[in-house]
Amino acid sequence: MRRSYISPEYQTKSVYGTLNMLEESTFFGAKMLEIEDSININNLDIIYYQTLNNEQLDLSIESSLVSYVYSSSLDKQNNHTLVIDESQPKYQLDNNTKWLLTIDLKSIISNYLFATLKKYRTFEGIKNNMNIYNNTDTAIRSYINYNILNRYRYKGIELYINYQDLRNQNILKYNNTWSANNVDIKNLLTKIQTETEFDESSIKISFNQEKPSSTYKFNYYFNIIFEKI
């Protein structure tokens, strides 16, 4: 049988553009998501609506369902640790205790951006079967990782410390409390040392308690500031 050298026919099939969450530049340009120049993650709640399977299709219907609330305060609380520096001498431990505060920057800003995209319904009309993950929420988080996170960098932190007298309740020694009620300029702590991971995924902050640990505990809170590159 002789070969005809005629190329076989191929079938063209349309696919959803949302199957690829990575924005790729072309000669004619590419779509670009407008983002904020600066982000201050403080004590903000973000409210959004969606269907029971996480899709956003019709706000008039979804607004009758239970709303979803992103709490930046709770998110920061869940993504940080505050521990005593074990290397300090006992005299310092009993007086001006040195504390180590480690914050997961990447998780916090990722969760904030996710809630913001949900609030503004950026992916409205995208169904679960229109992405490779078969899950719209997973697709949005993938979009954030691919296209938005690298457009922000860590700028600074505002750490607030409010001391509480322990002279009548010594049992609470070293038992510090996370509280957004401490955000006041008079409670702002400026004497801190910071060490940021090379990829800015996390930061470690060290500071000393300014009032004796034997008679004072403290309530604390922090705001994180990011800026667009």
pLDDT above 80 (res 216): yes
Quick check: is 187 in a domain? yes
Quick check: is 8 in a domain? no
Quick check: is 7 in a domain? no
**Strand 152-165 to 188-189 pairing:** antiparallel
Quick check: is 193 in a domain? yes
More confident residue, 74 or 171: 74
Quick check: is 140 in a domain? yes
User: Position 6: which residue type?
Assistant: I
CA-to-CA dists, residue 182 to 76, 189, 205, 213, 219, angstroms:
15, 11, 18, 19, 7
Query: What's the whole-model pTM score?
Result: 0.89
Percent of the chain with pLDDT over 70: 91
pLDDT above 70 (res 99): yes
Where would I find the beta strands (DSSP E) of the chain?
A: 38-41, 45-48, 68-71, 80-84, 98-103, 152-165, 177-178, 188-189, 193-196, 203-208, 216-228
Residue 30 is predicted with a pLDDT of 57
Quick check: is 186 in a domain? yes
- The residues near 52 (Cβ < 8 Å, ≥ 6 apart) are 65
Quick check: is 33 in a domain? no
Terminal-residue alpha carbon distance, the chain? 64
Query: Into how many domains does the chain fold?
Result: 1
Range of the domain at 56: 38-228
pLDDT above 90 (res 4): no
Residue range 12-29: mean pLDDT, rounded = 72
Query: Mean pLDDT over all residues of the chain?
Result: 91
User: Position 177: which residue type?
Assistant: T
Quick check: is 28 in a domain? no
